[in-house]
Amino acid sequence: MIEEKVLRAIEFDKLKQKISEFCVLKSGKEVLLAETPCCDYENAVYLLDKTEEAYALLFNDGVSGIEFFDDPKDAIQAAAKGSSLSMGDLLKCARFMRSARILYSSVLKAKSDAPILKNEISGIFTDQYVENEIFSKIVSDDAVSDTASEKLYALRKNIRSLNERIREKLLSFIKDGKSEYLQENVVTMRGDRYVLPVKSEYKGRINGFIHDRSATGSTLFIEPAAVLELNNALRSAKLDEQAEIERILADLSVKIGVISDRLLSDLGIITDIDAFYARAIYAYKTNSVRPKLNSEGIVDIKNGRHPLIPKEKVVPVSLSFGKEYNYLLITGPNTGGKTVSLKMTGLFAAMATSGMFVPASDGTEIACFGKIFCDVGDEQSIENSLSTFSSHIKNIISITENADGRSLVLIDEIGAGTDPDEGSALARAVIDDLLKKGSRGVITTHYSALKEFAYTEKLMKNASMEFDPETFAPLYKINIGMPGTSNALEISEMLGMPKDIVRRAAGYMGNAKLSFEKVLKEAEKTRREAENLKAEVRAIKAEESKKLEEIDAEREKLLKDKEKFYAGAKAESRRIVNEKIEEADEIINEIKTLFDKEELTSGDLIRARTLRNDLERKKYAESEREERTVEYEPINAEKLKIGDKVYHKPTDMICTVNSVNVKKGECEVFAGSLRVMAKIKDLFFVAKSEGNAKTTVSLKRNGLVTPATEINVIGKNVSEALYDIENFLDAAVVNNLEEVKIIHGKGLKILSSAVHDYLKRDPRVSEYRFGKYGEGERGVTFVKLK
């Protein structure tokens, strides 16, 4: 059991208050505020498991939180004793039952594997019949529904009828010429009986009973004898109504009393779940992680952030002890963060063993300590006549008497408050004792002797709070392995201390002390320079590694493109060969058909000779590979007509015009069986006469030409880009490419969205995707063709 004063010293109470704000129920908040760290390793792991399950349910499965309800405990206990509950208490019970049912249903239907919470929640008792009955019969905290029972419905119907009859009877007095006797022409009530306001001087003119008079005595409130029986009947009906309401409330209360034990059990379960939901919500809000718990006394905090310091001000701190050494001795200037780091260590230990995640990075490890001891700050007590030093020593005595191998010890400014030499010697003796007991912990000091001692003691490690060597401003970071300097003289001068006083103070310091402090400052300066250099080297190394990865990726891509190219070339070669064989077979079969005739005519012989010459030309056309040229001239859109043979520059093919749209500057052409929408500016007439201005383009293909596998449309508008992409895909299909790349850039996603919409509708596309890391990511799209 950890002492309450220790938990206050590390501010665990303030943290619990902060986490409890995420509780829905008052009872859940009370449970969480009463929480104390668990000293048993297995139980501590169990608590962390529950928080992790709550986190998964809330933020992975989207399970709704606990629905709020007022605490029904007193009402349930009263019903268990046979008391009849009020309407408000019955509604409290119904709201609680509804909340329990929703929690039960949502958690058990969740996909996450949460065995602890699901097992706990499976024990919740639900009775939707009683819940619905209360909601249907109780309208509000002071009203019962007319339909709560048949008898109540009939009574209220009769009451409404009696009210109307009485009012009509009294209004008849006013209409029958008796209004002059009345103070006002209204019907009012005294008590629960209808009366008329009669002027006192006419009291004898109205036969009835006087129920009240005004403060001045000028008005008497008289119940006319004519409505006496009706008022009596109304009074009786209201008494019957109240009796029926009490019967209904008593009946519902009995039903709550019968299941009171189960409801109280449900209340305990929901309260517990509420406290763990609050832990999970806090972890989510603060980006906290589950610490790895151990029973070996190891503490390894990675980028820990003190949970009580605002996130915009907190500086992450990393520290460790418990493996190679048991104690960390932190030194450095005041206000440098020593005490904050010390208290954060104790707070993380308390959080981890209370089922709470810690605001740190993944890999943070915390030990489950059996005891935590803490001596932080000025606990001077006027009442007990204890000085600061006396209070400090009293705490140290308690620590040395009770610490053991499962203890975490946190001492701020050990041995301070007395003569430095004596304080330093006493501090070293205390540390010796704590090391012999096998305890772990963090100690802060300004004593140089302790810094030197930490260098020689293998179970202790020096650490310092970093500061800027130029400005001496604290950086709130821990440097393990190097002791720090107090920088008291430099900081005093920065704060305005006269320079002559600072120089005089330096003269009073011993040469050995000055030398030691100077060595530490120079060492810190050198270390920081080395760290900066190391960081630069790491950055250069990372950049070079990235470049090598890009080169490897490009090499791999080229190899794949090469394989695709050869595969495409083989396929195209097979197609051409098969096509030529088919043409040759057709010619040969026609020749055979001619010679199979019994008689050959001269026309047959001429035809046979022609077919033989065609076969000879096809035989030598490919082997000779003669260079052929096609002459073409720019298109005149007005002269372009259907059926014209044109050269389409983007696909390098001779095409036939199928349709023309002069206004849009487009036309549809056929390249074999392939339909292409082409811009007129990309088309050229195949020249027919020598008189026209001509341009010559070589159609000779010496060897295989690698088709384009990518297109860049960055900077183009959507219509221009889609037109170019269509032609690009036409060429890719003609060249039997399996995959191509479209470079469109990231920008405002307008162009990439248009490209993807186009690809979605294109029947030639089997699939498409954005680039992966190293491929251009969302700035490029890879397209697989059918």
pLDDT averaged over consecutive 10-residue blocks of the chain (786 residues)?
90 96 95 94 96 95 92 95 95 96 93 93 94 95 93 94 86 73 77 83 77 82 83 90 95 96 96 97 96 96 93 90 93 78 95 96 95 76 55 89 94 83 89 94 88 88 75 68 61 66 63 52 62 78 80 75 65 69 74 67 64 62 46 75 82 80 83 72 69 43 58 84 84 79 83 87 88 83 88
Containing 538, the helix (H) or strand (E) segment is: helix 511-595
Q: Residue 297: left (phi > 0), alpha (psi -120 to 50), or beta?
A: left
d(CA 455, CA 481): 9
**Residue (of 675, 674, 670) closest to 657 by Cα position:** 670
Rg of the chain over Cα atoms, rounded to whole angstroms, equals 47
Interhelix angle 228-258/260-285, rounded to 10 degrees, is 70
**Secondary structure of residue 460 in the 3-state scheme:** strand
d(CA 361, CA 350): 18
Containing 426, the helix (H) or strand (E) segment is: helix 420-436
Q: Beta 739-743 vs 666-671: how paired, if at all? A: unpaired
d(CA 634, CA 647): 10
d(CA 469, CA 448): 19
Q: Beta 292-294 vs 365-367: how paired, if at all? A: parallel
| DSSP assigned state of 182 | B
d(CA 13, CA 195): 64
Q: Specify the amino acid at residue 528.
A: R
d(CA 547, CA 560): 20
| pLDDT for 626 | 41
Q: Tokens at residue 141, please?
A: 């905290």
Torsion over CA: 487, 488, 492, 497 (sign) = negative
| pLDDT for 208 | 79
Q: Which residues contact 21 (CB under 8 A, 6 or more apart)?
A: 278
Environment class of residue 591 by beta-carbon count within 10 Å: exposed (0-12), middle (13-18) or buried (19+)? middle
| pLDDT for 475 | 66
Q: Tokens at residue 734, please?
A: 């003609």
Q: Which residues contact 348 (CB under 8 A, 6 or more apart)?
A: 291, 299, 301, 304, 358, 360, 364, 366
pTM of the model: 0.62
**Residue (of 437, 418, 290) closest to 373 by Cα position:** 437
Backbone φ, ψ for residue 435 (5° rounding): -65, -40
CB-CB contact of 368 with 295 (8 Å): yes
**Secondary structure of residue 368 in the 3-state scheme:** coil
* Cα-to-chain-centroid distance, residue 258: 44
CB-CB contact of 256 with 79 (8 Å): yes
* Cα-to-chain-centroid distance, residue 444: 38
| pLDDT for 640 | 83
| pLDDT for 599 | 65
CB-CB contact of 339 with 347 (8 Å): no
d(CA 545, CA 630): 51
DSSP-based helix, strand, coil % in the chain, nearest 5: 50, 20, 30
CB-CB contact of 367 with 299 (8 Å): yes
Backbone φ, ψ for residue 278 (5° rounding): -65, -40
Q: Tokens at residue 44, please?
A: 């501590």
d(CA 694, CA 141): 98
Environment class of residue 25 by beta-carbon count within 10 Å: exposed (0-12), middle (13-18) or buried (19+)? buried
* Cα-to-chain-centroid distance, residue 388: 47
d(CA 243, CA 249): 10
CB-CB contact of 424 with 290 (8 Å): no
